[in-house]
Amino acid sequence: MTAPVLQCSNLVRRFGDLIAVNDVSLVVQPGETYGLLGPNGAGKTTTISMISGLLEATSGSVEVLGERITPSATQGKSALGLVPQDIALYPDLSALENLTFFGRLQGLSGDRLKDRITAVLDVVGLADRAKDRIDTYSGGMKRRANIAVGMLHEPTLLILDEPTVGVDPQSRNAILESVDALGTLGMAVVYTTHYMQEAERLCDQIGIIDEGRLIAEGTREELIAGLGDATAVTVRADGSPAAMERWRAALTGTSGVEAVQPEEYGATVTCTHASSTVAAAFAAADREDVVIGGVEVVSPDLEAVFLKLTGRALRDPS
């Protein structure tokens, strides 16, 4: 069995009384893309910060290629590439200058540095804008330049912290294609996101994190299989706030219903029997003066897994 690229053991991080990360353990194998999926504030970035040696763990350990990673240990960090959530580039320098600076800090020089810069600029599609200042780029281009710096030195483990937040759909798709390619090239990737679709598309292994705890882990299929017979039903409904509240409460108490997630449009219900749930939803609507506008039974997905595990949706209602 090959040695893991990343091994996190019982990671804990406290900020005063708040436990931001609570006993998180995970292993990433060579060439594997590991998705850390969770809502905002779940502890993803704190976990990433400990993995990349920016934050001291209160307890537990991080090892990359067998080297212990801490803020003061620089030995194992050469194997890491970090793409932070926010753009971490010098805005007054060009992409070429940023890449040259960060490449040299990683130990690249001469022709090898030039070759690597050319290669990553091609990968992120910024070759023709390489000499332009970063502050003249669009948001999507900045994100791509941000990724280019992270993969410049061909790290064994690339960490991407929500790389698609705030980008347009076109750039988002381009970023996902690029990350998809990294996995096939033998680079291990840790990818944090709160977008279920991204985790489903990119990741070989998915860890679901909520309130600092890793509450489930496995492949997409394994996680969905964990739902058992559960099905997700989205119900569009309208009524006064008080009536909607009573209607959701009635649904929650229905036999076979595992979780009811309030949505702006109505509710998403995780249940074992879709037909009886739909019937119960209509009956409760009659009683509580709520009008049902539509019902959809959806295939089980990671959203449903999260809903079942936490009783809440992955994303805030919007």
Partner 1 sequence: MSATQEAPAPVGVLAPPSVGRQAVLIGRLDLRRRLRDRSIVIQVFLAPILLGLIVGGAFAGGSGNLEATIWVADADGTDTTRAISQTVAGSSEDGGVVFRAADVANEAEAQARVDDGTADAVVLIPAGFTAAVLDGRDAELLVVGWAGSPIVTGVAQSLADGIAAAVRSQQISTGTAVGTAEQLSLPVDAAALARALEQPELIVVTDSRMENSFNLISFFAPGMAMLFLFFVMGTAARSILTERREGTLDRILSGPTSPTGVLLGKTLSVIALGVLSLLTVYLFTTFAFGVDWGDPIGVLLIIFASVIAIAGISLIITGLARTEEQAQSLTIIGTLMLAILGGTFIYTASGPMATARAFTPNGQAAMGFIDLAAGEASWVAVLPRVAVILAIGLVTGTIGLLAIRKGFAR
Among 55, 79, 48, CA closest to 65: 79
Asked if 25 is part of the footprint of partner 1 (rule: CB under 8 A), the reply reads: no
How many other β-carbons are positioned within 10 Å of the β-carbon of residue 281? 26
Asked if 71 is part of the footprint of partner 1 (rule: CB under 8 A), the reply reads: yes
What's the min distance (Å) between Cβ of 201 and partner 1? 14
How many other β-carbons are positioned within 10 Å of the β-carbon of residue 317? 12
Over the window 119 to 158, marking each residue x when it contacts partner 1 by CB under 8 A and - when it does not, the resulting string is: xx-xxxx------------------x----x-x-xxxx--
> Which tokens hold the place of 205?
């292994």
Nearer Cβ to partner 1, position 65 or 233?
65
Nearer Cβ to partner 1, position 38 or 76?
76
Residue of the chain from 35, 43, 53, 207 that contacts partner 1 (CB under 8 A): 53
What's the min distance (Å) between Cβ of 59 and partner 1? 15
Q: What angle do CA 299, 212, 307 make, to 5 degrees?
A: 20
Asked if 106 is part of the footprint of partner 1 (rule: CB under 8 A), the reply reads: yes
Residues 41/200, Cβ–Cβ less than 8 Å: no
> Which tokens hold the place of 131?
């000499």
Nearer Cβ to partner 1, position 159 or 233?
159
Nearer Cβ to partner 1, position 54 or 309?
54
Asked if 261 is part of the footprint of partner 1 (rule: CB under 8 A), the reply reads: no
106-113, long-range: CB within 8 Å, 24+ apart, which pairs?
106/78, 106/152, 106/153, 107/78, 107/153, 108/152, 108/153
Q: Tell me the β-bridge partners of 133.
A: 94
Q: Quick one: which segment of 52-60, 196-204, 246-254, 266-274 binds partner 1 (CB under 8 A)?
A: 52-60
DSSP state of 67: E
Over the window 153 to 192, marking each residue x when it contacts partner 1 by CB under 8 A and - when it does not, the resulting string is: xxxx--------------x--xx-xx--xx--xxx-----
Q: What angle do CA 177, 183, 188 make, to 5 degrees?
A: 135
What's the min distance (Å) between Cβ of 159 and partner 1? 8
Q: Quick one: which segment of 71-79, 221-229, 249-257, 259-267 binds partner 1 (CB under 8 A)?
A: 71-79
Asked if 60 is part of the footprint of partner 1 (rule: CB under 8 A), the reply reads: no
Distance of CA 265 to the CA centre of its chain: 25
> Residue with structure tokens 């994190």?
209
Among 246, 269, 244, CA closest to 258: 269
What's the min distance (Å) between Cβ of 65 and partner 1? 7
Round to whole Å and give the CA distance between 88 and 209. Answer: 25
Residues lying near partner 1 in the complex (CB under 8 A) are found at: 52-56, 65, 71-72, 74-75, 77-80, 82, 84, 86-93, 101-102, 104-108, 116, 119-120, 122-125, 144, 149, 151, 153-156, 171, 174-175, 177-178, 181-182, 185-187
